[in-house]
Structure 1
Amino acid sequence: MPTLRALECLIAVLDAGSITDAAAALHMSQPALSHQLAALEREIGAPVFERLPRGVRATAIGRAVEADARAALTAAARVVDGGRAVARGESGRLRLACAESLTASLLAPVLRNWLRRNPAVHVTLTEATSADDLVHHLESGTADLALGPRPTRWTGHSQLIGPEEIVAVLPTDHPLSHHDRLTFEDLHDHPLIHYHPDNGLATWLDTQAATHGVTLTPIMRTRQATTAAQLAASGLGIALVPTTALTPALPATLKHLHPTLTRDLICLTATPTDPLLRRFVSDIVNRGVPVNPSVRTRLT
């Protein structure tokens, strides 16, 4: 198969009409250019130029392959230009997977600014209900970057975004609403708005409670942390909710747990050397874990 350099030499000679002028235009020696042309002719099996006393003239074969040679060089230039655009973060594709409770609070603000700066970047998003589900998307090749809690299994590259606090959401008239902080022991005999087993928070919270010798008592289950907070606010029970899922106007009482309960949020990347992914991860990490100021005030 002919090299791009050989095709470049062919086009240069066709445009210049001589070996000497083509070599000068390509900053090559004449023997080096002639070597490229000879290699091309061996590949084709016939001469592409007729040597004249002064200059050269394309043969019928040389003229026949000219259009395809120019198209190949143009395509190669597009490959390089496209790669450079992706490396600068100006183009390319981002396949994201995100824990569904973090899409609005953690991902959306960064993604909005990113797409404003890089409108040619095509983004696809898959939401997941657990950290291990995020790993599945990376391992199956359906995502290049995953955002969420730390999974139970992942041997690839990861970068810490920051800790996310889990707090108790209670109806405003709940008997525990006057406590400064709540322990898992406080929750033992109270109905809990818990999470569906598909949501990784369910197993994680059960494990955390078990370390304190407590078994949580679900009165109902939901897949969404935001919904759990709203159900608790409506008076159905207590919910343990990540602060990133709390809305400022939630009509409920918010309490820290004692000891403070947090989980790490991280970026998982299948190809950490990818320039486009590195830029996006940097933006996520620099922003950190968001907590609405009004929510923070209600917790202090």
Structure 2
Amino acid sequence: MLYVTLRQYQYLVAVADAGRMTDAAARLNVSQPSLSVAINRVEARLGREIFIRRKGAAIAITPFGHRFIAQARELLRQAEALEQSASTERPFVLGCFEDIAPWYLTKALHILRERFPQMSFQGREGRFSDLARDITEGRIDTAISYDIGFDERFDKQKIKHVAPVAFLSPAHPLAAFKALTLQQLANVRLILSAEELSLGFVMRIFESAGVDMHVEHKTASLEMMRSLAAHGAGVGISYSHPPSGLSYDGQPLVTLPIRTTEALADIVLVRSTLTAPDPRAAEISEILATV
């Protein structure tokens, strides 16, 4: 608990600067007795003298007082900076799930900067849990993401439905098909994202379709998933699919759509339900919905 108030810290600094109680009281527009009482209370609370007061002489600052007043000045500076930051216009921060950021975030930032040249925009990538935390704690204004891991604390505006794809080596038996179903992937060696929410989402899709699955690998990145699939380590499943027919290490790769209605996922705009209404944010959301 704080026992010394910011006002009392201001009194201490003012007395140190003025050198006399009467001069400090005049600068602060308070009575000298009130100022003296406040200083006495602070010293009593600390159990140390900050000032030595002698009748008819200027106030002397004790060694402890010099250290304490220096810290009080810094505290007051930080408090003033905190108040100013609340009224300072900051950039609009657009978050995006990192696997789809190359497709959505860069394009969205370009459109927003053209549409609102007077505003400043920043982008931030993250996993589902990162985005949820940063939106809740005010570091992200709006995020583009799959609708995974966002509960009733968030407003969600659907942008589009997306279907998953399968990554396969050209030599894999399923690579000869033009599209796949979940049933064709029963007990096939699968490569999934290691991200907890993403992994759980895909596993629930297989479970709801009554399809047994065999997870061979879990990867931290989309490109690692594609490289493993290209080398025949299994079939990767993702809702993000780069247009290239090569893996990151240059191996040929086949990408097939998974045509199962139950596997469709939503891409949404996400923001906190506790965010104050902002006409600017509403207009930005309308633009982002068309990206």
- Aligned partners of 1:197 and 1:135: how far apart in 2? 14
Partner of 1:248: 244
- Report the Cα offset of residue 140 of structure 1: 1.8
- Report the Cα offset of residue 101 of structure 1: 0.9
In structure 1, list runs of 5 or more residues that go unmatched: 1-43, 45-82, 288-300
- Report the Cα offset of residue 107 of structure 1: 1.4
The SS at the match of 1:280 is helix
CA contact (8 A) 2:105 2:123 kept: no
TM-score, normalised via structure 1 length: 0.58
The SS at the match of 1:101 is coil
Task: Find the partner of 1:279 among 279, 283, 291.
Answer: 283
Partner of 2:152: 154
Does 1:138 pair with 2:135?
Answer: yes
Does 1:164 pair with 2:162?
Answer: yes
CA contact (8 A) 1:233 1:252 kept: yes
- Aligned partners of 2:220 and 2:117: how far apart in 1? 33
CA RMSD of aligned residues (A): 2.8
Partner of 2:6: none
Aligned residues: 198
Does 1:96 pair with 2:110?
Answer: no
Offset from partner CA, 1:194-252 (integer Å, 9 cap, x none): 11144x3211001111112334322222122343233312322211122x432234332
CA 1:119 to 1:258, structure 2 compared with 1: closer, same or farther past 3 Å? closer
In structure 2, list runs of 5 or more residues that go unmatched: 1-28, 30-86, 247-251
CA contact (8 A) 1:92 1:120 kept: no
Partner of 1:290: none
CA contact (8 A) 1:101 1:226 kept: no
TM-score, normalised via structure 2 length: 0.59
Does 1:113 pair with 2:111?
Answer: yes
- Report the Cα offset of residue 96 of structure 1: 2.3
Offset from partner CA, 1:264-288 (integer Å, 9 cap, x none): 011112337323322322222112x
Task: Find the partner of 2:204 among 188, 207, 210.
Answer: 207
Partner of 1:230: 227
CA 1:280 to 1:223, structure 2 compared with 1: closer, same or farther past 3 Å? farther
Partner of 1:269: 271
The SS at the match of 2:99 is helix
